[in-house]
Structure formats: C-alpha cells, structure tokens
Structure 1
C-alpha cells in the first residue's frame, strides 16, 4: 500500500514539475523568441524614437486661450509599439502635466496607440490614430481622450514631428 502512495506522490510531483517547465518554455517562446523573429524579418518603417508636438489657441473671443505640448517616446518591435507620452496643458486657470504609458501597433503606415495614465489616481485615458507623413518625419491624426472636466470624449487634432537624432 505504501508503494502505491509513494508512486502516486512521485507522479503528482513529476506532473507539477513538468507543467512548470512547459510553462517556462512557453513564456520564453512567447516573450523572447517570437518577438525576436518578428523583429528580424520585419521590413517596415521604424518609428522608434522621440516625437513632439505643440498646440496653441490665442482666440480670446471664444474664451479658449491655451497651450499644449506633446512628447511621445516610442520603442518598436516589428509592428508592436510601446513607450511613454507626456501631455502638458496650460491655460489661465490651470497647468496640467499628464504622464501616460503607451502601447499599440503600426500597420500599413497607420499607428494606433492607447494611453493609460502612469498615476493610477488619474482617470483620463486616451487613444489615437495617426498616419505617417512627410517620408516618415511626421505623424498626423486625431487624439481622443476622456475630458474629466466636462465628462465626455473629446478629440483634438494631433501632429507629431520626429525629434532630431531619433
């Protein structure tokens, strides 16, 4: 009877160890090998680097006087994009700096990015669809974000220019 119990325990331990090893192999395959192979065979445009943009509205007639600054830092592995985004907004009433984590992808000259705040106390999320222009020197599109002041989805045109040296 004790031999059956010993063999059962050994079988269970062997099964758990085999599962752990297979899980580690799969994780390594999915996180390291596949991205490496995709990046190696990828022949598309590389948009990794720093991108920046500015906006200004000096129209006191409608009460909208503000300045905005956008800084996007992208890392690229084939079609997949990750990075960070710094948004600065300034008007006479407030001065806001928001820092976002960025994830997305590029397909046929279009870039789709999702923005989640680094500070989990902030509830302003955003997304954007951009088109690569000017031979790869600018990204032009629209930025959609949760306007927490007015509680609706707001949109603004967004043009980002590749920074020198990127």
Structure 2
C-alpha cells in the first residue's frame, strides 16, 4: 500500500521532550504509505526527542506552528512524551492549530500523553478516547469517555495508550488519513 496516502500532506506537531518512537514509527509508516510529512514545532531549528527519560536524537523542524496552517494538511499526528504535550498545550498557536483540524473535519491521531493538547483545544467532549493512564481523569473531566484499549477511533480521532500500541495506531491513522474528512468531526 505504498500509494495509499499519495498526494496527502500530514503534519506532526511536537516540541522538545517528545517520545521519539511515537514520532519516528508513525512518520515512517505514513511516509511509506505515500504521504508527504512535515514536522511542525514551536521553534525553528531542531527539537529534542526522548527515549523515556533519556535524551534521544534531535530532529529538524520543517515549519513553526505560527507559519503553519491546518488548511495545508490532510491530517495531524500528536506524539506523546510528558514534556512535549505539556509545552504544546500552553502555546496558543499550537492549541489553535490543533483545533483547526477539528473545525475542518480532518483526521487527528494522538498517542500516549498527546491527548493533553486535545484537552486544551476543547475537542474531546463527547468522544471515546484512550491515552497514557495518567491522563484518564483529565480526559474525563474534559468530557471524554476514556477507555483502556490499544487503539480507539471516534469520527476521525485516533488515540492509543503507549509505544506498545504503535502498530495498531499507525495502521488506523493511515486508514483515517486515507479516508479524509469526517462530516461528524467537529470542534
């Protein structure tokens, strides 16, 4: 299925402290499916990946969130890591960027701690989601139905719990990106 996402552009939104494998595995799977991928961040230059609590590699940023528009992409991936979404959710530009994907009914995939940013964008109310277990109460308080499952999809919103779920997460994200807009996906 090397051409399943041919002609699609997928944004990855991350900043320093992202869980490296939660960016690299979906990135490669989505590229292998034929999409063009871009790394969007709060700053230009490079951002620091993490392998759990140890520094991983650095990755070049393609565009800052202030220069990016959800209208230029067919979907969005939000990797986890603790520091990454915690910093993203305090940045108005990042929160607006995420919310715009929902307003445009575009698929979004968030793994592990990634849904923290979704909470701040106020896009989880009434949705069935999963995440790293420590986000359960935050997601419930934001109006989501939290479940402990490998991969959950609710009208174009794909969520998974941790790196062990990456095969299912990548497969479902590709499926949703291939499908495109969801009429029921709203902010």
What TM-score bracket applies, with the shorter chain setting the length?
under 0.3
Return the index of the structure with the highest Cα Rg.
1
Q: Which has the higher contact order (CA 8 A, sep 6+)?
A: 2
Q: Counting helix residues as a fraction of each chain, which structure ranks higher?
A: 2
Q: TM-score, with normalisation over the residues of structure 1? A: 0.23
Q: Counting strand residues as a fraction of each chain, which structure ranks higher?
A: 1
